[in-house]
Amino acid sequence: MRTRPGRAVSIVFAWMAITTFSGVLIETLLIYPNIFADVPASLVRSTAFFSEVGPGDVFPVLGLATLVTGVATIAVTWRLRPARLRALAAVAVTLVGEFGFSAWFFWPRNTVMFVEGPAVHPAGELIRVAWEFETGHWLRLALCGVTAVLAFSALLRVLAGQRTVAPVGEVV
């Protein structure tokens, strides 16, 4: 493994994963109470508020950046097994937990709550779907946290591996 690219890519991967987790955590604590405060009226207000830029504009980009930097980390740390395994696990959690779970679980509920909304669905259904969304979101938050921990752990393994494999006299 080349020292500098492995370190740089692993730092960016850990940074992206931690940033994504932090964003989802902030969204959970600051934005979701407003979105789900008084369904269905709060869904209508939220749709109007997020008319320019919303979470759906930001988090797919962060998720993709996390995935791409994770794959790059796997490539540049392939010879460093402990780092590679953690990066592989982080990418797997991102693929299954973020993209797969989001497409299967969240996208249909987003359509019901924010695209079709009260014009198509009765209040009782919107309340149920909002509860399902909020409940599922805690799993998504946990999966983001797992990805961040695994990415940071991969970085630590890269840094530890570089200390043990650096040639004598080379500063890493």
* pTM greater than 0.85 (yes/no): yes
For the stretch 42-60, pLDDT in tens is 999 999 999 999 998 999 9
Q: What count of Cα atoms within 13 Å lies in the side-chain half-sphere of residue 21?
A: 22
CB-based burial label for 127 (10 Å; 0-12, 13-18, 19+): middle
Assess whether pLDDT exceeds 80 at residue 81. yes
The answer to whether 140 touches 101, Cβ cutoff 8 Å, is yes
At residue 6 the predicted structure's pLDDT band, cuts being 50, 70 and 90, is: confident
| Domain parsing of the chain, residue ranges | 3-165
pLDDT tier for residue 5 given thresholds of 50, 70 and 90: confident
What pLDDT was estimated at residue 169?
Answer: 53
Q: Mind listing the pLDDT tens digit for each residue in 107-144?
A: 999 999 999 999 999 999 999 999 999 999 999 999 99
CA distance 139 to 57: 21
User: Is the pLDDT assigned to residue 78 strictly greater than 70?
Assistant: yes
Share of residues in the chain with pLDDT > 70 (%): 92
